[in-house]
Amino acid sequence: MGAPTASGTASPHQNGTATTSASWSVEVVYRGIFQKRLANRISRGVVLGARKEGKVGTAFARYGDSPERNGIPAKNFAVVATDEVQLESSLARYEPESVDVSIVVDDTMCKGVESWAWYGVQPINKLVVPGGSLVVTSDKQPDELLRAVKVKPYAYNLVVVPSPVHAGVFAPEGSASFAGLWVDNDDNTDFKCLVAVARVAPQILTLDSVLDIVRERTNDEARVKAVRAIYDQIKIRHVEPGEGSTVDHEEYQKPGWTQMREGIVVEAMQVGTRNPLYKKWSTRTRRPLVNFDTCIKCTQCWLQCPDECFEVTPEGTYEVVYEACIGCSICEEVCPVPDCITMVNELAFDNNDNLYPMYASDPEGYRRFLQQHGIALHPELIDKAKKTPAVHQQPDYPSKKQKQPVVTGGEE
Amino acid sequence: MVIAVPPHTTSNAARPKKFEEEELLLTGSEAIAHALRLADVDIVGAYPIRPYDAVMQAVAAMIADGKMDCEYIVAEGEHSQFELVKHASAVGARSFVGSSGVGWFYAFEAIAVTAGLRLPVVANVGNRALDDPGAFGVEHNDALAVRDLGWLMTWVETGQEAFDAAVIAYKVAEDPRVMLPCAVSTDGAFLTHSQHLVKIPPREVVEQFLPKYDLGDRLFHPDNPITIAPQVDQDWLTEIRKQNDAAMRRAPDVIREAYREYYELTGRQREPFVEEYMTDDADYVLVGQGTIAMPGRVIVRRLREQGHKVGFARLKWFRPFPADEIVERLGRFKGVGIIDRDYSFGSPHHGGVLFTEFRAAFYDSPKRPAMINIIGGLGGREFTAADGQEMFNLLQQATAGELKTNVHWIGVRE
% of chain B exceeding 90 in pLDDT: 92
Pick the range with the lowest mean pLDDT from A64-78, A392-406, B237-251.
A392-406
Single residue among B229, B245, B266 that ends a domain in this structure: B266
Pick the range with the lowest mean pLDDT from A82-91, B136-145, B353-362.
A82-91
**In B16-60, at which residue ranges do the beta strands (DSSP E only) sit?**
22-27, 43-46
Instruction: Answer yes or no: is pLDDT of B335 > 90.
Output: yes
Average pLDDT, stretch A6-17? Answer: 39
A7, B384 contact by CB (below 8 A)? yes
B352 touches chain A (CB under 8 A): no
Instruction: Answer yes or no: is pLDDT of A18 > 80.
Output: no
Within a domain: B237: yes
Average pLDDT, stretch A17-42? Answer: 86
% of chain A exceeding 90 in pLDDT: 59
Give me the interface pTM, i.e. the ipTM.
0.88
Q: Clarify whether residues B215 and B284 are in a common domain.
A: no
Instruction: Answer yes or no: is pLDDT of B4 > 70.
Output: no
Confidence of residue A409 (pLDDT cuts 50, 70, 90): very low
Which residues in chain A are contacts of B382 at CB distance < 8 A?
8, 93-95
Q: Which residue has the higher pLDDT, A110 or A403?
A: A110
**Burial of B46 from C-beta contacts in 10 A (0-12 / 13-18 / 19+):** buried
Tell me, rounded to whole angstroms, the distance of Cα B342 from its chain centroid: 15
Average pLDDT, stretch A139-154? Answer: 93
A95 and B382: CB-CB below 8 Å?
Answer: yes
Query: pLDDT tens digits for A107-123?
Result: 899 999 998 878 889 99
Q: Clarify whether residues B47 and B164 are in a common domain.
A: yes
Q: Clarify whether residues B250 and B158 are in a common domain.
A: yes
d(CA B157, CA B295): 11
By C-alpha distance, the chain A residue nearest B128 is A63
d(CA A255, CA A237): 40
Residue of B389, B386, B383, B317 whose CA lies nearest to B354: B317
Q: Clarify whether residues B244 and B294 are in a common domain.
A: no
B361, B321 contact by CB (below 8 A)? yes
Instruction: Answer yes or no: is pLDDT of A181 > 70.
Output: no
- CATH number of domain containing B339: 3.40.50.920
Query: pLDDT tens digits for B254-299?
Result: 999 999 999 999 999 999 999 999 999 999 999 999 999 999 999 9
Predicted local distance difference test score (pLDDT) of residue A164 = 54
Single residue among B227, B243, B266 that ends a domain in this structure: B266
Per the structure, how many domains does chain B have? 2
Instruction: Answer yes or no: is pLDDT of A399 > 70.
Output: no
Q: Clarify whether residues B307 and B399 are in a common domain.
A: yes
Predicted local distance difference test score (pLDDT) of residue A119 = 82
Which residues in chain B are contacts of A59 at CB distance < 8 A?
25, 194-195
Confidence of residue B393 (pLDDT cuts 50, 70, 90): very high
- Helices H / strands E in chain B, number of each: 13, 15
Predicted local distance difference test score (pLDDT) of residue B95 = 98
d(CA A311, CA A325): 12
Confidence of residue A185 (pLDDT cuts 50, 70, 90): low
A92 and B385: CB-CB below 8 Å?
Answer: yes
- CATH number of domain containing B76: 3.40.50.970
Within a domain: B414: no
Q: Clarify whether residues B220 and B350 are in a common domain.
A: no
For residue B177, what is the DSSP state? Answer: T
Global confidence as pTM: 0.89
Instruction: Answer yes or no: is pLDDT of B223 > 60.
Output: yes
B107, B78 contact by CB (below 8 A)? yes
For residue A269, what is the DSSP state? Answer: P
% of chain B exceeding 70 in pLDDT: 96
Average pLDDT, stretch B164-174? Answer: 98
Instruction: Answer yes or no: is pLDDT of A401 > 60.
Output: no
Predicted local distance difference test score (pLDDT) of residue A94 = 65
Cis peptide before B51 (omega within 30 of 0): yes
Q: Clarify whether residues B161 and B83 are in a common domain.
A: yes
Instruction: Answer yes or no: is pLDDT of B124 > 60.
Output: yes
% of chain A exceeding 70 in pLDDT: 85
DSSP B195-228: EEEEEE--HHHHHHHSPPP--GGG--BTTB----
Confidence of residue A93 (pLDDT cuts 50, 70, 90): low
Within a domain: B112: yes
Average pLDDT of chain A to the nearest whole number: 85
Within a domain: B199: yes
Within a domain: B80: yes
Coil, helix or strand for B95? strand
Q: How many other CB atoms are there within 10 angstroms of residue B217's CB atom? A: 10
Predicted local distance difference test score (pLDDT) of residue A15 = 44
Structural domain that includes position B258? 22-266
Q: Clarify whether residues B289 and B392 are in a common domain.
A: yes
By C-alpha distance, the chain B residue nearest A90 is B298
Q: Which residue has the higher pLDDT, A28 or A348?
A: A28
Q: Clarify whether residues B218 and B347 are in a common domain.
A: no
B164, B266 contact by CB (below 8 A)? yes
Single residue among B234, B266, B298 that ends a domain in this structure: B266
Within a domain: B161: yes
Nearest to B132 among A1, A8, A264 (CB): A264
- Work out the angle at residue A13's Cα, subtended by the Cα atoms of residues B392 and B311, and round it to the nearest 5 degrees: 20
- Side chain identity at residue A319, one-letter code: E
d(CA B371, CA B395): 8
A4 and B294: CB-CB below 8 Å?
Answer: no
Predicted local distance difference test score (pLDDT) of residue A252 = 84
Instruction: Answer yes or no: is pLDDT of B184 > 90.
Output: yes
Query: pLDDT tens digits for B314-329?
Result: 999 999 999 999 999 9
d(CA A86, CA A71): 34
Cβ contacts from A onto B, under 8 A: 85
Query: pLDDT tens digits for B41-79?
Result: 999 999 999 999 999 999 999 999 999 999 999 999 999
Average pLDDT, stretch A324-348? Answer: 94
Average pLDDT, stretch B201-205? Answer: 95
A7 and B385: CB-CB below 8 Å?
Answer: yes
